[in-house]
Structure 1
Amino acid sequence: MPLQLAVLSTSRIVEEFLHHLPEMPEISVQALCCRPQSGEKARAWAAEYGIPQVYTDEETCYRAGGFDAVYIGTANHLHYEAARRALEAGYHVILEKPFTGTAAEARALYALADQKGVMLLEAITVYYLPQFAFLRRELETIGPVRGAMASFCARSRRYDDFLKGIWNTTFDPACQGGALNDMNVYNLHLLTGLLGAPRQAEYRATRAANGIDTAGLALLDYGDFTAAALAAKDSDGVNGMVLQGPGGHLVVEGGTNALPVVYCVPGAVRGSTARREGPAAARFRMAYEFAAFVRIIAERDTAAEAEARARTLTVMDLLDKLHAEDLPQK
């Protein structure tokens, strides 16, 4: 039976999710909840995607019920309170990245989920893709990692408005946007998922006049090597990742949120430079994570939830450190 879901927000990530609903038979969206000013948009989406109910008040939505879990795709600064309210109402929660504003907030939400006996999962695509499993398997091929670089840069569609002085949450520091939280978080999940947590970390940001980081480089110190993670919302770049060692290198070509092309090139020590191709995704990138979430919730797979929780907390702790070790460009 599909997971009965309520969706909170009419954001762009929610729009993308709804557009691909036909590719996710594991999900049945029963309600769409938004701010009153977004009600017209929500009703149009409900008609287009066959969603039975639209609410412009969370309390009314949660009291009415008819679903088992809430998918939250609000602006970053609203994540914590929105998740807290859904958990308090007794629903499982799937919360978009970046999970919360701080690691302390993340731990508070997990404690509340445990108290309520429900599951709390971060909607982060990377770990659930078959390409990620390939990269993890091939790590042994390249031997001890000696260098790592990841990049995810895309000029925001809202950047021109920002330059014109038109307000939006994406470039408002009070809304916890910026390149680190919105874009580099994917690089951090990918790198820590493969390499673990770094010993030390620092962030070098390119900042606009209002203080928002429109681009930035995170340096992750692993002792034997340093990994670099670049992200930008003010410019495009060549996106992907390279991990290299004495036995070869692993490559991602394309966004680190989707890993569209992955492959391994064994080094000369193995006598070959043949490229070993990884799998291509057969489904929309978000379909993999939601299929996993449906299974975890349906089976009450606490081990899988604990593993996901540990990954989220690793990145939340790292984000805290990067925000604290935010060094100006020289």
Structure 2
Amino acid sequence: MINLGIIGTNWITDQFVQAAHQTGSYQLAAVYSRRLETAQKFGENYGDVEYATDLVTFFAIQHVDTVYIASPNSLHFEQAKQAILAGKNIIVEKPAFSTPQEMDEIIELANQQRVFFFEAARNIHEQAFKTIADFLPLKDQTIGADFSFMKYSSRYDQVLDGEEPNIFSPHFSGGALVDLGVYPIYAALAWFGMPNESLYFAKKIQTDVDGIGTGILRYEEFDVTIRTGKISDSYQPAEIFLSNGTLVLDAIHSIDEAVFHDRDHQRKIKLSVQRVENPMVEEAAAFAEVILNPTDRTLGTNYEEWVELARNVNQVLYDMRKSAGIVFDADEK
């Protein structure tokens, strides 16, 4: 059983803890919050849980072996570093870190301390995602793709009122690209590999981060278009253009429908995909399998591939952000 500690008590943490318990491999053991009442309210339905209002106390809880970090983006690096030095595995909500330097340091430190680092990019762990990966032909039969993930955030209303919520603040490494944009970029790199060039054309909002934007990932023979945003909604499906037809997905995460339309319009192939009710169950199960079987070679190979993918996604996010002139406080460290 994995004894889980959590940093962050928002809705996404609650969803992850529920998913973790659903796998049968985790038990919530500790909650950190700056306010004791907030921590206690979060943990009241999970049995015997310890609480901490400072990180030194939290990381000193011996029986906690794995920490899920879902604090504001800019805080991930220091909290992850503290957790690793305390001997804990870490599951860091996407985007795990603000810069490639932070990512490299955490990967190296986790290896040195013999603990696991996972970026919680849930879509790559979905069975539907793997079904699509198996269906796709070789890259030389791909001629392009178009991935969108745009959803209006109610926090933008605060921006319009002159405020600067964390998710739209450069001080907290916010913006559309490093939030919703992570999903299509993960999909592109998992299915097609590392692009040769990564560009981003953004519409900045009052807080000087991107509210909406279009990215281009340039491969040797094709491009992938990425559209993301948090100040508008998109209802556009995802499409992968192949030499013999087009694969249409109803989404780029929590995929519930995938249909291949052949070039001659003679047939449609409906792939067997279905999303689960809690979209974080599959990633929680995948992480648990690695943590509980640390000497398994196949799982070890999977883990190394996830870490390298996380590193590459981080680099692409950084390159895209720089091409759009989006600067975070973390860039100056």
TM over 0.5, yes or no?
Answer: yes
Q: Is the alpha carbon distance of 1:173 and 1:142 closer, same or farther for their aligned partners in structure 2, counting shifts above 3 Å?
A: closer
Q: What corresponds to 2:259 in structure 1?
A: 263
Q: Is the alpha carbon distance of 1:46 and 1:126 closer, same or farther for their aligned partners in structure 2, counting shifts above 3 Å?
A: same
Residues 20 and 284 in structure 2, CA contact (< 8 A), matched pair in contact too: no
Matches within 5 A, 1:138-287: 138-140=135-137, 144-254=141-251, 256-268=252-264, 272-287=266-281
Q: Is the alpha carbon distance of 1:261 and 1:279 closer, same or farther for their aligned partners in structure 2, counting shifts above 3 Å?
A: same
Residues 139-176 of structure 1 deviation map (CA, whole Å, 9 limit, x = unaligned): 12997111200000000021112211233101111111
Cα distance in 2 for partners of 1:22, 1:312 equals: 25
Q: Taking structure 2 as the reference length, what is the TM-score of the superposition?
A: 0.91
* 1:295 matches 2:289: yes
Question: Residue 58 of structure 1: CA displacement?
Answer: 1.5
Residues 20 and 285 in structure 2, CA contact (< 8 A), matched pair in contact too: no
Task: Give aligned-pair identity as a percent.
Answer: 25
Question: Residue 20 of structure 1: CA displacement?
Answer: 4.3
Question: Residue 64 of structure 1: CA displacement?
Answer: 2.2
Q: Taking structure 1 as the reference length, what is the TM-score of the superposition?
A: 0.92
The AA in structure 2 aligned to 1:278 is: S
Residues 248-299 of structure 1 deviation map (CA, whole Å, 9 limit, x = unaligned): 2222213x2322322323332xx73223233213452211011011110111
Q: What corresponds to 1:23 in structure 2?
A: 22
Alignment coverage as a number of residue pairs? 322
Cα distance in 2 for partners of 1:218, 1:50 equals: 45
Which ranges of structure 1 fall in alignment gaps of 5 or more residues?
Answer: none
Structure 1's consecutive aligned runs of 4 or more residues displaced over 6 angstroms after TM superposition are: none
Residues 71 and 93 in structure 1, CA contact (< 8 A), matched pair in contact too: yes
Cα distance in 2 for partners of 1:145, 1:116 equals: 41
Question: Residue 327 of structure 1: CA displacement?
Answer: 6.5
Q: What corresponds to 2:331 in structure 1?
A: none
Across the aligned residues of Structure 1 and Structure 2, the Cα RMSD in angstroms comes to 1.9
Residues 61-120 of structure 1 deviation map (CA, whole Å, 9 limit, x = unaligned): 121222211111111111111100100111111111101001111110011111111111
Of the structure 1 ranges 7-16 and 137-146, higher mean CA displacement relative to structure 2 is found in: 137-146
Cα distance in 1 for partners of 2:99, 2:90 equals: 18
